[in-house]
């Protein structure tokens, strides 16, 4: 299902985007079509998708594997993607290509620019805390001046603070996206 904002540009709904991206063959199709500069034949697309699915090269794809992928692309996946408006699918000529609407799926496939890598922050905090506790346990001065439970408490408190900041930023980002979607629909 698509929606039509007042500007006249069609926007793929979130549910429809997830419906398209749920299937691996459709994701492989998007990936392959992104790597091409124009229209490709369904046969060429089927060979590439079959090779990815079977973790082999296009040359080693069996005719049975190719036919299975070709049939499902032709009958199911390409019509669904064309109905969503993200590809142009010419059944008579057997050609398919991406159109500009395919970029609407990017927000679901790729992280937005400017998003932080929170796992790096957690890893850094773990390393710093672990080194401090290790230095205390092996008796290095000045680490021996503070009890090990203080280090553990500081580390736990730091993790709690970092987690709270992370959760708040995620909440704000979700609310911001929700507001943008509301604005786009009006």
Closest of 150, 109, 133, 136 to residue 20, by C-alpha? 109
User: For residue 3, what pLDDT is reported?
Assistant: 38
Residue ranges of alpha helices (H) inside the chain are 14-21, 24-34, 42-53, 63-72, 78-84, 106-109, 118-137, 148-185
Its sign, for the CA torsion 57, 59, 60, 65, is positive
User: For residue 108, what pLDDT is reported?
Assistant: 79
- The secondary element (H helix, E strand) that includes residue 38 is none
Closest of 37, 39, 68, 35 to residue 51, by C-alpha? 68
User: For residue 62, what pLDDT is reported?
Assistant: 94
Q: How many other CB atoms sit within 10 Å of the CB of residue 76?
A: 13
Q: How far apart are the first and last CA of the chain?
A: 17
Looking only at Cα atoms, what is the longest distance across the chain?
80
CATH topology of domain 2-109: Arc Repressor Mutant, subunit A (1.10.10)
For the question of whether the overall pTM of this predicted structure is more than 0.75, the answer is no
User: For residue 6, what pLDDT is reported?
Assistant: 38
DSSP 39: -
User: For residue 47, what pLDDT is reported?
Assistant: 95
Domain residues of the chain, as ranges? Answer: 2-109, 118-185
Closest of 78, 86, 67, 65 to residue 23, by C-alpha? 78
List of the chain residues with pLDDT < 70: 1-10, 111-116, 176-186
């Amino acid at each position: 299902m698509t929606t039509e904002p007042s500007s006249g540009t069609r926007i793929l709904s979130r549910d429809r985007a997830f419906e398209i991206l749920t299937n691996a063959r459709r994701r492989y199709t998007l990936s392959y079509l992104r790597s091409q500069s124009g229209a490709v034949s369904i046969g060429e697309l089927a060979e590439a998708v079959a090779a990815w699915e079977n973790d082999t090269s296009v040359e080693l794809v069996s005719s049975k594997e190719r036919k299975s992928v070709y049939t499902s692309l032709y009958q199911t996946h390409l019509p669904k993607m064309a109905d969503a408006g993200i590809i142009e699918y010419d059944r008579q000529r057997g050609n398919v290509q991406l159109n500009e609407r395919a970029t609407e799926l990017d927000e679901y496939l790729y992280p937005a620019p400017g998003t932080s890598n929170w796992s790096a922050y957690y890893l850094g905090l773990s390393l710093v805390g672990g080194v401090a506790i290790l230095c205390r346990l092996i008796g290095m001065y000045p680490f021996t001046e503070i009890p090990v439970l203080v280090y553990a408490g500081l580390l736990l408190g730091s993790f709690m603070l970092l987690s709270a900041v992370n959760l708040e930023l995620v909440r704000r980002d979700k609310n911001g996206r929700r507001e943008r979607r509301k604005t786009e629909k009006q």
